[in-house]
Amino acid sequence: MPAPNLAHLQAQPNLLLTWLNDNLLLAGLMTNVPNPPGLAWVTITAPPVIPGMPSLAVNASGRPMDVFTLRTNGGGVGDSVRSYVCNYTANGVHSIDLVNAADYCFTVTLNGCTFGIGPRTPLGFRRVSHANTGGNAFVQRTQTWTQHGVPANSYAISLLEPSEYRRLGGGGNLNATVFGVRTGVSWAFYFQLYTAVGNGNYKVHGVFPIRVP
């Protein structure tokens, strides 16, 4: 299947969910953006070609799926969608406030990190965060609570932790592409879960919603 029509995605963000039924979306090639405002033109392209190592994916039943990558260097309307980007650094934690300047939110691949989602404000805004401390879930949880300015053990923050997206087993080979979609004043969040089986091959387990407070 070809890359999605990004003009259509800009107008109808939920079309991304339909497209992901047949395609794997990798986020490892995304780069950080200035924050604030944390906005970029995000594009969806074919992965880099590595001689002798094509990128191939199958779904849980073995049906082939195409592979695409997210990049934060889109050229603007027509070849990309305006998106919030929650930055990533090794052994760091970042957050971004999602307001109404874009209909999408993306972050770099989770393969041991923790993604946090704050409560909805009366205007529909939310803060999201990406914490990485070598996969130490306890430390990352504490970093997330601090980043959102809430007390420890707060249920006001929804956490996508390694134990959640690695629940199928597979350890570090299980990865998650996390994204948010805004409809009106409401943000919904999802992750596409996949296993890296080596040599550019992947097994896709599906797209799952993330509970939000």
pLDDT at residue 37, rounded to an integer = 92
Which tokens hold the place of 36?
């604030």
pLDDT at residue 198, rounded to an integer = 79
Number of H helices and E strands in the chain, helices first, is 4, 13
Ramachandran class of 76: left when φ > 0, alpha when ψ lies in -120 to 50, beta otherwise: left
pLDDT at residue 122, rounded to an integer = 85
| Radius of gyration in angstroms for the set of CA atoms belonging to the chain, rounded to a whole number | 16
In a domain? residue 98: yes
In a domain? residue 164: yes
Residues 6+ positions from 59 with CB-CB distance below 8 Å: 65, 203, 204, 206
pLDDT at residue 151, rounded to an integer = 84
Identify the domain containing residue 204 by its residue range: 6-210
pLDDT at residue 68, rounded to an integer = 95
pLDDT at residue 155, rounded to an integer = 85
- Which percentage of the chain shows pLDDT scores above 70? 95
pLDDT at residue 55, rounded to an integer = 79
Predicted structure pTM score? 0.93
DSSP codes, 84-119: EEE---TT-EEEEEE-SS-SEEEES-BSS-EEEEPP
In a domain? residue 20: yes
pLDDT at residue 197, rounded to an integer = 87
pLDDT at residue 77, rounded to an integer = 80
pLDDT in tens, 126-169: 999 999 998 898 999 999 999 998 887 788 999 999 988 887 66
pLDDT at residue 74, rounded to an integer = 87
In a domain? residue 1: no
* Under-50 pLDDT residues of the chain: none
Tally of domains within the chain:
1
Q: Residue 40 class from Cβ within 10 Å (0-12 exposed, 13-18 middle, 19+ buried)?
A: buried
pLDDT at residue 1, rounded to an integer = 65
